[in-house]
Amino acid sequence: MNSDSPIVDEVRARAMAISARYAHDLRAYAAHLAEVQRGHAERVVDQPRVVVGGTKGEEGAASEAEVRRTKPAA
């Protein structure tokens, strides 16, 4: 792979090394990440979900009731 940046080359090399560690199996890598996440549940941040449409106030701004916190799927 050619690039104009040694940083890009390093990121790609590290990505390939991680992929090889899990036999290039994305499901195995995802399972590993889920296990690590469970071990650090106190550090996992909920992802806010902004619902756009039917807002009051500034155009395009979501009202407080429209911004909901959702838990990641287990």
- Contact (CB, 8 A) for 51 and 68: yes
pLDDT at 27: 96
Average pLDDT by stretches of 10, the chain with 74 residues: 84 95 96 93 83 61 53 52
Q: What is the pLDDT of residue 30?
A: 95
Neighbours of 62 (CB within 10 A): 19
SS3 23: coil
Global pTM value = 0.50
d(CA 52, CA 8): 36
pLDDT of residue 31: 96
